[in-house]
Homo-oligomer: A and B are copies of this chain.
Amino acid sequence: MKWLPGAILAILMIGNVQAETIIATGDLGLVVERASGSLLLVDQSEKATISRITGLGDLSHASLVYSPDQRYAYVFGRDGGLTKVDLVEKSIANRVVQAGNSIGGAISDDGTLVAVSNYEPGGVRIFDADTLELVADIPTESKTIGLVDAPGRRFVFTLWDEGETWIADMSSGTPLVKKISGMGDNPYDALITGDGRLYITGLFGEDGLTALDLWEDDPEPIRVLPEYGRGQKELPVYKMPHLEGWARAGREFVLPAVGHHQVLWIDETSLEETGRTDTYGQPVFAMARPDGRQVWVNFAHPLNDTIQVIDTLSKKVVHEFKPGPAILHMEFTPRGHEVWVSVRDAGKVMIYDTRTFEKRGEIDAESPSGIFFTSRAHRMGL
């Protein structure tokens, strides 16, 4: 084809190349690079990096959610930045700094609204997912924590100072807020179960946890493990465990104990304790593989170089290994055959087979923390 001018040849080859290089969004993901304020766009099946997206501000404790079509990610930065990232264009589509200090966010079940939880000023702000224009402002005069989406275009969040949970129903366009008091002293984090039914808060100021059954018209706080001490006398709490790590494993929930080298097992119906498993260190995340058959646990500093895998039926540790220094997060592939692990101080994301525990690959990343696959777009509370 040497008789063709270069430009024409190039166009012809684009036609051919396109057929080989189209990527669908079902198996993509974003890795938070906290030190550099950037995101790595990764391909789960190829175990490869596609692109780096920069300019996201302070990404310590950053999290993100996806639009239903898996084209956009909404990134919640610690600095109050809400950034809309376009996975197709591999660039920032929009960015607003909507508060001074924020922690986490959620997207409504219909994908039209994005909510952000703020410390400074305290409250929740709700934005149009298309334009990032402010739709509703719900001030709380308290730090807000544990913001999640619930079915029916609702957002649920909790006030650290007052120990109140608020349910904001956005189905009419303006927020209808139901307030539930008596959640306990200083709730520090919360989660919603995968079916959107139970909202559970962890307490910093007293023992135990508090649950709400969102299927009730007027949910009442349910005390969970009220005698379970936070362990202050036994161990310093290096890091409060993340409740989002809670998961349904078989017919139980598993959660990291606070201040103990243990994970706790709770019956999903009675919410009573069914067992404890001693672990290598103080758990940070206790994450169930999507089929619930295993729970993977990482630990607080200085024992944060190790992962333990617990078998759900026997509640025994069946595997332990050391991927490297400063393991910050784990994300399973949607059907659980592999897991991606952020090893911050190795500058790597490591990929393991969850059955053989063999390493299947690794990706270079700058101080990686959270890993978020696009399959989260289709789950509640993620």
Query: A residues touching B (Cβ–Cβ < 8 Å)?
Result: 1-2, 4-7, 9-10, 13-14, 17-19, 21-28, 44-45, 50-51, 66-71, 87-90, 109-111, 149, 151-153, 171, 195-197, 215, 248, 250-251, 268-269, 290-293, 312-313, 333-338, 355, 374-375, 377-380
Contact = CB atoms under 8 A, between A and B. Distances in A.
A68 B51 contact: no
Contact of A22 (B14, B25, B292, B380): B25
Contact of A377 (B1, B26, B109, B152): B26
B291 A196 contact: yes
B70 A26 contact: yes
B337 A69 contact: no
Nearest to A375: B378
Please name the 10 residue pairs, one residue from A and one from B, whose CB atoms are nearest each other, closest first. Answer: A26-B70, A334-B378, A6-B6, A24-B71, A6-B9, A109-B335, A375-B378, A10-B13, A27-B69, A24-B25
A89 B28 CA distance: 19
A82 to B, nearest CB: 20
Nearest to A109: B335
Residue from A7, A67, A195, A312 having most chain B Cβ neighbours under 10 A = A195
A266 to B, nearest CB: 14
A352 to B, nearest CB: 13
Name A's interface SS. loop
Contacts of A375: 377-378
Contacts of A378: 26, 334-335, 375, 378
Contacts of A21: 14, 17-18, 21-23
Contact of A24 (B7, B51, B88, B149): B88
B23 A69 contact: yes
A362 to B, nearest CB: 18
Contacts of A69: 23-27, 45
B215 A313 contact: yes
Contacts of A109: 335-337
Nearest to A149: B335
Nearest to A268: B251
Given A22-B28, A22-B90, A45-B69, 10 more contacts: A1-B6, A6-B10, A7-B9, A13-B14, A14-B17, A22-B23, A23-B25, A44-B68, A195-B290, A251-B269
A23 B291 CA distance: 29
Contacts of A6: 1-2, 4-7, 9-10
Nearest to A373: B378
Contacts of A293: 151, 197, 215
Nearest to A8: B6
